[in-house]
Amino acid sequence: IMKRCLSTSNALNVIKNVTIIGGGLMGSGIAQVTAQSGQNVTIVEVNDGAIKTAEKRISDSLVRVGKKLYKDNPQEAEKFVQGTKSKVRGVTDVGEGVKNADLVIEAIVENIDVKHKLFKQIDTLAPPSALLASNTSSLSIRDIASVTNRKDKFGGLHFFNPVPVMKLLEVVTTPELSEESYKSFMEWGKSVGKVCVTCKDTPGFVVNRLLVPYMAEALRMYERGDASAKDIDIAMKLGAGYPMGPIELVDYVGLDTTLFIIEGWHKKFPDNPLFVPPESLKKLVAEKKFGVKSGEGYYKYD
Ligand code: CAA
Ligand code: NAD
């Protein structure tokens, strides 16, 4: 028992520097909660504009969290915002970003080829002791890890949008993941304030395997004209107690991300009717209507 405790705490002590690749919707949230827990965060993005966008998103979200944490004390709230922001730096070079990392979390576009290219680089540039993780929604962790030489240190860390609010973290295991790395992922998840569940490396893990077919079914219902998008959303909010309706949720998750997920599964499992990409989703994505993040999806946003 002594040995196990020691090995866990050793592993935990090691995670001080976390690098997040991709500072979009998810990456900025992951960076934020990590910085809030006192760890040093490096965000790697494609250009300075994208770093600025990530920093702005983190700053806006921290202001909301700060207001809640320090209701009657705007000075303390401001200190919290500035203190947390000072833990985050942005870079555009992967090598520079991962060279001191204890843990690297990838949150870039949901595309296996792009992720493979990135992880080949990370594997050669990050310290050999660094743990690697992907925040993928739907791809196989084992598949992503296949291009690296540290499959025992590679797992899934699947967060939920909005990361600062959603309490869950799915920790995804593979047959190659070592017990020690698994424990480090679980401990790290707790350290950033999340409740961790353990999932096998199956399509969509737990939440998305149930949620994505539900969202696609709602889009098909809308396409058939059984009810309006607004009424489908109202119905599921007031009739089933969901905080958002399924179509609002597609807009919130991102239409591009939702389509990537369902197209990938459709290719792999062509006989499953739940995985057929809805026509309206394909059409809106082709029109670059990605939902809240682009200003329009099934609904319009200012
Ligand atoms: N940062 C910080 N705080 C935030 C925030 C953010 N980005 N977004 C919301 N909040 C806070 C607000 O400040 C507010 O706090 P108080 O209640 O203390 O004032 C609280 O969260 C509620 O927010 P709002 O009042 O603005 O709005 P709401 O009550 O409608 O809640 C919501 C917003 C939390 C997003 C809620 O609608 C919700 O839970 N929606 C469902 C989200 C969901 O299902 N996510 C999973 C998507 S699937 C996924 O992520 C996996 C995948 O791989 C695709
Ligand atoms: P997003 O489009 O908001 O962000 C992706 C970011 O990655 C962009 O800012 C882009 O500039 C950056 N990027 C792309 N290629 C890069 C590279 N090679 N190096 C550095 N940065 C790069 O997407 P998102 O919604 O944050 O999704 C990211 C990942 O998280 C995907 O794998 C997605 O499936 C997963 N995910 C999404 C959600 C969700 O609700 N949107 C929830 C959980 C997991």
262-287: pLDDT as tens digits: 999 999 999 999 999 999 999 999 99
In a shared domain, residues 154 and 224? no
Quick check: 63 pLDDT over 90? Answer: yes
The CATH number covering residue 228 comes to 1.10.1040.10
pLDDT at residue 124, rounded to an integer: 98
**160 CA to centre of ligand 1 in angstroms:** 10
Predicted confidence at residue 2, as pLDDT, reads 42
Judge whether 226 lies within some domain: yes
> Are 158 and 211 found together in one domain?
no
* Catalytic residue ranges: 137, 158, 170, 208
Minimal-distance CA residue to ligand 2 atom 30: 107
What average pLDDT does the segment 26-37 reach?
A: 98
The total number of structural domains in the chain stands at 2
* Mutational test site, ligand 2, from 20, 61, 109, max ligand atoms within 8 Å of CB: 109
Domain assignment present for 248: yes
The mean per-residue pLDDT over the stretch 116-128 comes to 98
pLDDT at 11 over 90: no
- Overall average pLDDT of the 120-133 stretch: 98
User: What does the pLDDT read at residue 5?
Assistant: 39
Tell which atom from ligand 2 comes closest to the C-alpha of 134: 32
Q: Could you say which of 199, 231, 264 is where a domain stops?
A: 199
Residues 215 and 190 in one domain: no
Residue 14's pLDDT band (cuts 50, 70, 90): confident
Residue 302, domain member (yes or no): no
In a domain, 35, yes or no: yes
Q: Ligand 2: does its nearest atom lie under 6 Å from the Cβ of 110?
A: yes
Which of 169, 199, 229 is the endpoint of a domain?
199
Say if residue 185 is in the same domain as residue 253.
no
Residues 195, 228: one domain? Answer: no
The reply to whether 301 falls in a domain is no
Q: Which atom number of ligand 1 is nearest to the Cα of residue 137?
A: 53
* Domain range for 214: 207-294
pLDDT of residue 8: 46
Does residue 27 share a domain with residue 130? yes
pLDDT of residue 302: 87
Q: Residues lining ligand 1, judged by CB closer than 6 Å?
A: 61, 64-65, 68, 137, 160-162, 164-166, 208, 211, 243-244, 249, 253
**158 and 75 in one domain?**
yes
Q: What is the secondary structure of the chain as a DSSP string? A: -HHHHHHHHHHHHH--EEEEE--SHHHHHHHHHHHHTT-EEEEE-SSHHHHHHHHHHHHHHHHHHHHHHTTT-HHHHHHHHHHHHTTEEEES-HHHHHTT-SEEEE---S-HHHHHHHHHHHHHHS-TT-EEEE--SSS-HHHHHTTSS-GGGEEEEE--SSTTT--EEEEE--TTS-HHHHHHHHHHHHHTTPEEEEE-S-TTTTHHHHHHHHHHHHHHHHHHTSS-HHHHHHHHHHHH--SS-HHHHHHHH-HHHHHHHHHHHHHH-TT-GGGSPPHHHHHHHHTT--BGGGTBSSSB--
Share of the chain above pLDDT 90, in %: 94
In a domain, 21, yes or no: yes
Looking at the structure, do residues 14 and 64 belong to the same domain, yes or no?
yes
**CATH code, domain carrying 45:** 3.40.50.720
Whether residues 28 and 163 fall in one domain: yes
Quick one: 176 and 269 in the same domain?
Answer: no
**Residue 72 pLDDT > 50:** yes
Provide the pLDDT for residue 78.
97
Residues 83 and 182 in one domain: yes
Question: Residue 71 pLDDT > 50, yes or no?
Answer: yes
pLDDT higher than threshold 70 for residue 74:
yes
Among 154, 173, 199, identify where a domain stops.
Answer: 199
- Nearest atom in ligand 1 to the alpha carbon of residue 158 is 53
- Is 300 contained in some domain? no
Residue-wise pLDDT tens digits, 233-271: 999 999 999 999 999 999 999 999 999 999 999 999 999
Section 75-84 average pLDDT: 97
Task: Provide the pLDDT for residue 291.
Answer: 98
Reported as a single tens digit per residue, the pLDDT across 177-195 is: 999 999 999 999 999 999 9
In a domain, 79, yes or no: yes
User: Please, which pLDDT band fits residue 3 given cuts at 50, 70 and 90?
Assistant: very low
Please tell me which residue, 14 or 182, carries the higher pLDDT value: 182
- Tell whether 96 and 240 lie within a shared domain: no
